[in-house]
């Protein structure tokens, strides 16, 4: 069986309306999935009670306020309570308007009576306002105001301390700024002189740039000439000769090599040198011991 597009749209619209209606009821505190019983109660003043306010039993949410009707001498309030709690509501129970907390408004609390029979659906319950509700709200408001006053005082103290610290910081900043100004004023002449010297040196460098460039070019040419001359070859030859001489000394050829390598010969030469020195010293001190002079001839046997 095929359905037309219009039929499908209509079914969809009805479903949306039903879901919307259920959502509105659920937001108002009425759960359409639960079976409920209706009770009525009357008050001279509902003290700010509203439709969908909670109905509690020993602190447990069991329903909500379904309707509020203003009459000539009283206010009729309709309560919607889940049917599973019917056995917990005796017929002499009291529906008391009480505070739901400092920020939660008011609600109806069901105070259980001692009757043996339960309150029937659509019956009327005795209604009253909690005697000290206004006083409780006033005391809580007073506590709130005291807390707010303490908070404001704490904030004021913090602001005062912060203001003092900020003032001290600004004063220190002013002192630092004046110190910097005095330093700048003292060294301004020196800085200007240094800048003038730098500018003069820069101008001298700029004027001598051509001379410096020519000097560098001449030095490059001199290095190139030296590299091309035979002096490099001569230095190489000299180094080769020196290397050959050192090799000969190391290999032990010739007197010099023997002097370097023969320790006994070195010690003998050292001892001979020392003896020769002693002989010359003695000759200087006692020349007649070695040379004899005679004007008339000497004794041939005297030695």
Residue 260 resides in a domain: no
What DSSP designation does 119 have?
A: P
Residue 142 resides in a domain: no
Q: Are residues 26 and 44 in the same domain?
A: no
Residue 165 resides in a domain: no
Q: Are residues 98 and 54 in the same domain?
A: yes
Percentage of the chain modeled with pLDDT above 90: 20
Could you report the per-residue pLDDT of 189-246, keeping only the tens digit for each?
Answer: 777 777 877 888 788 777 777 778 888 888 777 767 666 665 666 777 777 887 777 7
Q: Are residues 6 and 88 in the same domain?
A: no
| 125 strand-pairing partners | 41
Range of the structural domain that residue 49 is part of: 36-131
Q: Are residues 120 and 99 in the same domain?
A: yes
| Lowest-confidence region among 153-162, 207-216, 259-268 | 259-268
Q: Are residues 105 and 63 in the same domain?
A: yes
Could you report the per-residue pLDDT of 112-132, keeping only the tens digit for each?
Answer: 999 999 999 999 999 998 876
Tell me, yes or no, if the pTM score tops 0.85.
no
**Cα 262 from Cα 72, distance rounded (Å):** 148
% helix / strand / coil in the chain, to the nearest 5?
60, 15, 25
Final residue before a domain boundary, out of 131, 146, 173: 131
**Cα 85 from Cα 12, distance rounded (Å):** 36
Number of structural domains the chain divides into: 2
Which is more confident, 217 or 109? Answer: 109
Residue 10 resides in a domain: yes
Residue 258 resides in a domain: no
Q: Count Cβ atoms below 10 Å from residue 31 Cβ, excluding itself.
A: 15
Q: Are residues 11 and 61 in the same domain?
A: no
Asked if 40 and 125 count as a contact pair (C-beta separation under 8 A), the reply is: yes
Which is more confident, 235 or 111? Answer: 111
Sign of the C-alpha dihedral computed for residues 120, 121, 127 and 133 taken in this order: positive
* Strands of the chain, DSSP E: 36-43, 54-57, 60-70, 75-82, 94-99, 106-111, 124-129
């Amino acid at each position: 069986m095929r359905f037309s597009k219009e039929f499908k749209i209509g079914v969809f619209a009805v479903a949306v309306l039903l879901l919307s209606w259920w959502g509105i009821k659920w937001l108002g505190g009425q759960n359409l999935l639960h079976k409920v019983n209706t009770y009525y109660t009357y008050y001279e003043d509902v003290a700010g009670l509203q439709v969908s306010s909670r109905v509690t039993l020993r602190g447990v949410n069991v329903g909500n306020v379904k309707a509020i009707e203003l009459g000539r001498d009283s206010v009729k309030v309709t309560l919607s309570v889940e049917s599973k709690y019917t056995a917990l509501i005796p017929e002499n129970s009291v529906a008391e308007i009480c505070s739901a907390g400092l920020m939660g408004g008011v609600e109806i609390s069901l105070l259980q009576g001692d009757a043996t029979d339960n309150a029937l659906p659509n019956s009327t319950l005795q209604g009253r306002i909690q005697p000290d509700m206004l006083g409780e709200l006033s005391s809580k408001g007073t506590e709130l105001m005291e807390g707010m006053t303490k908070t404001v005082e704490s904030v004021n103290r913090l602001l005062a301390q912060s203001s003092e610290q900020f003032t001290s910081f600004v004063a220190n900043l002013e002192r630092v700024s004046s110190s910097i100004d005095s330093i700048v004023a003292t060294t301004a002449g020196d800085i200007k002189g240094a800048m003038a010297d730098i500018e003069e040196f820069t101008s001298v460098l700029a004027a001598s740039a051509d001379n410096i460039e020519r000097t560098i070019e001449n030095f490059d040419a001199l290095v190139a000439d030296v590299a091309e001359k035979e002096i490099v070859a001569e230095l190489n030859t000299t180094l080769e000769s020196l290397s050959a001489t050192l090799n000969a000394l190391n290999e032990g050829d010739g007197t010099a090599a023997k002097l370097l390598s023969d320790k006994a010969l070195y010690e003998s030469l050292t001892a001979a040198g020392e003896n020769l020195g002693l002989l010359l010293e003695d000759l200087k001190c006692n020349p007649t011991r070695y040379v004899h002079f005679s004007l008339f001839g000497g004794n041939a046997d005297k030695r």
